[in-house]
């Protein structure tokens, strides 16, 4: 256990001309941090942790290393302190998509006009003409969510498209505006262009839940419960402090898609314990 670790999450949808070279650079230049990084032709996404100095050095490498050709200049990082070491190793993967959606032609294309700052999102939550969608898995919603949010009831991001197809006609007929959020923003970024192409008004929380909690000291006014994180800390409260929630309290072993997640979480926990 330690209180000197810093966690940093980041992503950007941006065309990378040589993703394999990016992977090699990350494997060579990421000394001092552990975590998981995904590289694809459509961009880069990752979560890492280490000492504050190691995380700072890693972030500066992303911002300035020539291999990125300036594509990551101005990249935003969402940070939180760690008690439990979040990761046991560093993994850098080359994949077809940053987040698997499984719909042909769907790739993130940031549109700042649709992004709401945390302060703007707070104003949005007071409106009654908005469909507020939690764009995460159902077990994440159960642990915590924004007041008034709808749980699509999906166990995987790939299932989100079918649910949207069922709901969109009603929203369009009613002239409703759809507002979406997810943990860090990447799922909303991925699906946003796909929704807008179908004529569905869309707003999204810039930087996701983590940015909201990081930006507003009284975020618990709108945020109910805890925020699940995909690492050994399991969950954070509205002040981005690690909670005592365990994987056994998050996952329902009676549901197949959650049973395997629980077993994976137990394996990850054992691997960290072996390092300590």
From 235, 206, 221, select the one nearest 80 (Cα to Cα): 235
Using CB atoms within 10 A of its CB, is residue 36 exposed (0-12), middle (13-18) or buried (19+)?
middle
Q: Using CA atoms, how far apart are residues 166 and 184, in angstroms rounded to an integer?
A: 26
CA distance 88 to 273: 9
Beta bridge partners of 80: 7
| H helix intervals, 11-159 | 19-29, 52-64, 118-124, 138-143
Question: Residue 120, Cα to own-chain centre: how many angstroms?
Answer: 20
Helices (H), the chain: 19-29, 52-64, 118-124, 138-143, 160-174, 186-197, 208-215, 247-250, 256-275
**103, 108, 114, 120 alpha-carbon torsion, rounded to 10°:** 110
Active site residue 182: yes
> Which two three-digit tokens encode residue 154?
């999906």
d(CA 197, CA 114): 13
CA distances from 47 to 137, 151, 177, 198 (A): 19, 25, 31, 32
Q: Which one of 82, 182, 188, 227 is the catalytic residue?
A: 182
Residues with a known catalytic role = 182
């Amino acid at each position: 256990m330690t209180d000197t670790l810093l966690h940093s999450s980041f992503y950007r949808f941006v065309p990378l001309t040589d993703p394999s070279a990016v992977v090699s650079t990350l494997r060579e230049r990421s000394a001092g941090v552990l975590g998981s990084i995904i590289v694809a032709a459509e961009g880069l996404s990752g979560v890492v942790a280490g000492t504050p100095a190691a995380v700072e050095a890693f972030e500066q490498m992303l911002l300035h290393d020539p291999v990125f050709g300036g594509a990551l200049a101005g990249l935003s990082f969402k940070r939180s302190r760690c008690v439990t070491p979040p990761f046991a190793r560093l993994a850098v993967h080359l994949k077809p998509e940053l987040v698997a959606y499984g719909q042909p032609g769907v790739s993130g294309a940031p549109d700042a006009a649709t992004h709401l700052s945390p302060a703007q999102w707070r104003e949005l939550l007071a409106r009654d003409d908005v469909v507020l969608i939690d764009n995460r898995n159902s077990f994440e919603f159960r642990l915590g969510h924004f007041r008034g949010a709808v749980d699509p009831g999906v166990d995987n991001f790939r299932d989100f498209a079918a649910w949207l197809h069922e709901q969109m006609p009603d929203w369009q007929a009613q002239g409703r505006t759809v507002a979406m959020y997810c943990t860090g923003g990447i799922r909303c970024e991925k699906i946003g262009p796909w929704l807008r192409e179908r004529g569905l008004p869309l707003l999204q929380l810039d930087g996701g839940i983590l940015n909201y909690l990081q930006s507003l000291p009284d975020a618990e006014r709108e945020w109910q419960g805890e925020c699940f994180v995909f690492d050994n800390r399991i969950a954070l409260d509205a002040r981005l402090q690690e909670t005592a929630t365990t994987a056994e309290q998050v996952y329902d072993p009676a549901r197949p898609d959650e049973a395997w997640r629980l077993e994976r979480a137990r394996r990850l926990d054992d691997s960290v314990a072996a390092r300590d």
